[in-house]
Amino acid sequence: MTESLHLQGTLKGHNGWVTQIATNPNYSDMVLSSSRDRSLILWKLSRSEHNLGLPQKRLLGHNHFVSDIAISSDGHFALSGSWDRSLRLWDLGQGTSTRQFVDHKKDVMSVAFSADNRQIVSGSRDKSLKLWNTLAHCKFTMQDEGHADWVSCVRFSPNIQNPIIVSCGWDKKVKVWSLTNCKVRTDHAGHSGCLNSVTISPDGSLCASGGQDSKVMLWDLNEDKHLYTLENKDVINALCFSPNRYWLCAAVGPYIKIWVVVRGMLIAETWTRGPENMVPGGRGSAERRGVPGALNTRGGPTIDLEGKLVIDELCPEVVSQYSGRDTEPPQCLCMSWSGDGQTLFAGYSDSIIRAWQVIASPSSS
């Protein structure tokens, strides 16, 4: 069987950049998004032929851009961070803000729940990470040996046997923090530009980072070492791992790139060429280098990696609409997989969320 990604539909309701998307595996029909329009939208998915979903609730309370969001593992609560220097905890059933977290001195750039939902971490332009409980009490400010510039992204490891937080910042560093003493365990250096995103694999063994140097770096969190550097030609806006495939996805400028990682090894790469090669309908051309297996170009290019996994190209149809124009296509700013790994939701600077569905089809020889 081969697997490819096809544009399923769009969600429209925001009036500014879509800054983050969050999903929950227990609620397959729910998507939460945040925007520079200062709101969060809770979407109810229908996945019908003509309508992907509708906004169910608009959550208001922040008085500046909402920069990041997260959903609790039980799906009942959401967390948001904003340039108004605060975090908010939301009851998704009621659509109301139940707590406001105030202690940062500058814009809050990133937020995350721990795996057990008992702890919250935030990162800010004040160069600090703060650890909170769900009652909005700041329990610890993590600054010793911390970032020398803005903290742009923070994430808890999903592996409760290895309780760590990973952060990145505009000081070009990736830092691994121990939750047992709230101190830096490892400093990862190597990037040459400000960092925008870190993401941790579902098993907690790997971390990927990316930013303005157009590089994605893969790190081994168990052995605290650098694994690979993946070169690109545009800014890395966001990164995410698939929940059930060996896929690392990167929002690279207006495009999405996918690498396949098996047992810590990079075994495949797919990326789209320039707008002049795009065709309407969300399909484009792709190139791949150094990949074992067979290349089949009939009915669209795929790669057969000894029957293990096949991926196809992924590019927004919106890019093709900007071919030959002076206007740049919108940036892909954030991504989140559905819990079953069948749909990739991507948010863009044109206020639109695009959903990409994994389609399985018989492989060709």
pLDDT at residue 321 in the model: 57
Q: How long is the chain?
A: 365
pLDDT at residue 356 in the model: 87
Examine residue 246 and state whether it is found in any structural domain, yes or no.
yes
pLDDT at residue 191 in the model: 98
Examine residue 1 and state whether it is found in any structural domain, yes or no.
yes
Examine residue 317 and state whether it is found in any structural domain, yes or no.
yes
pLDDT at residue 168 in the model: 98
The pLDDT-based confidence of 265 (bands split at 50, 70, 90) is: low
Cβ distance 254 to 267 under 8 Å? no
Examine residue 216 and state whether it is found in any structural domain, yes or no.
no
Instruction: Give me the mean pLDDT over the 220-248 stretch.
Output: 93
- Strand, coil or helix: what is 11? strand
pLDDT of residue 315 exceeding 70? no
> Among 15-24, 110-119, 255-264, where is mean pLDDT lowest?
255-264
Higher pLDDT, residue 267 or 341 = 341
Give the number of domains in the chain: 1
Counting runs of H as helices and runs of E as strands, what totals does the chain give?
Answer: 1, 31
Instruction: Give me the mean pLDDT over the 42-64 stretch.
Output: 92
Instruction: Give me the mean pLDDT over the 317-322 stretch.
Output: 53
Chain center to CA of 316: 16
> Which positions ≥6 away from 351 have C-beta within 8 Å?
12, 14, 15, 16, 17, 18, 35, 37
Cβ distance 201 to 160 under 8 Å? no
Instruction: Give me the mean pLDDT over the 319-335 stretch.
Output: 73
Report which residue type is found at 39: S
Looking at every residue in the chain, the average pLDDT score rounds to 84
- Strand, coil or helix: what is 300? coil
| Euclidean distance between CA atoms 10 and 12, whole angstroms | 6
Examine residue 210 and state whether it is found in any structural domain, yes or no.
no
Examine residue 184 and state whether it is found in any structural domain, yes or no.
no
Examine residue 342 and state whether it is found in any structural domain, yes or no.
yes
Which residue segment(s) compose the domain that 296 sits in?
1-16+242-365
pLDDT of residue 30 exceeding 80? yes
End-to-end CA distance of the chain: 11
Higher pLDDT, residue 284 or 358 = 358
Residue 316: which of 357, 284, 277, 361 has the closest Cα? 284
Parallel, antiparallel, or unpaired for β 286-287 and 265-272? antiparallel
The pair of three-digit structure tokens given for residue 322, joined into one six-digit string: 């900007």
The pLDDT-based confidence of 363 (bands split at 50, 70, 90) is: low
The pLDDT-based confidence of 316 (bands split at 50, 70, 90) is: very low
Instruction: Give me the mean pLDDT over the 190-202 stretch.
Output: 97
Instruction: Give me the mean pLDDT over the 258-262 stretch.
Output: 81
Higher pLDDT, residue 300 or 111 = 111
Other C-beta atoms closer than 10 Å to the C-beta of 349 total 18
